[in-house]
Amino acid sequence: MKKQVPLEHYVKANGICNKYGVEALNSVMIGLPGETRDTVMATLTFLRNAREVKQANFAIAVPYPGTEFHDLAVKGDKGVKLMTKDFSEYRRYGSAVTTVGDLSPRDLIDLQNEGFVSIYSAPWRWIPMLQKHGVIGGTLMLIRVARLLSQKLFKRSGKQVGEQLVSLGDGGFSIVEGPELTTAAGFSGSTGSGVQGTAAMPLLQIASRSRSTPAPAGHYGTPGSPNG
pLDDT digits (tens, 9 = 90+) for 92-121: 888 999 999 999 999 999 999 888 888 888
- Alpha-carbon distance values, 152 to 159, 163, 164 (Å): 9, 11, 10
CA distance 154 to 79: 32
| CA end-to-end distance (rounded Å), the chain | 22
CA distance 190 to 188: 6
Q: How many CB atoms lie within 10 A of CB 156?
A: 8
CA distance 206 to 135: 26
Q: Is the pLDDT of residue 179 over 50?
A: no
Is residue 82 a contact partner of residue 73, using CB atoms and an 8 Å limit?
Answer: yes
Q: What is the pTM of this model?
A: 0.65
Mean pLDDT of 182-199: 37
At 37-58, the pLDDT tens digits run 999 999 999 998 999 999 888 8
Higher-confidence residue of 137 and 225: namely 137
At 56-82, the pLDDT tens digits run 888 999 999 999 999 999 999 999 999
Q: Please give the sequence-ordered ranges of beta strands (E in DSSP) within 61-104, or none if there are none.
A: 80-82, 98-100
Mean pLDDT of 16-42: 93
Which of 214, 38, 196 has its CA nearest to residue 105?
Answer: 196
Q: Based on the number of CB atoms within 10 Å of its own CB, is 90 exposed (0-12), middle (13-18) or buried (19 or more)?
A: buried
- Alpha-carbon distance values, 60 to 34, 78, 91 (Å): 14, 17, 8
Is residue 175 a contact partner of residue 184, using CB atoms and an 8 Å limit?
Answer: no
Mean pLDDT of 114-129: 83
Which residues, other chains included, contact 155 with Cβ-Cβ below 8 Å and sequence gap of 6+? 161
> In this structure, which long-range contacts are made by residues 118-126, counting pairs with CB atoms below 8 Å and at least 24 apart in sequence?
118/44, 118/47, 118/48, 119/44, 119/47, 119/48, 119/56, 119/58, 120/145, 121/145, 121/149, 122/48, 124/51, 124/54, 125/54, 125/55
Q: Is the pLDDT of residue 140 over 50?
A: yes
pLDDT at 147 (0 to 100): 76
Higher-confidence residue of 171 and 116: namely 116
Average pLDDT along the chain? 73
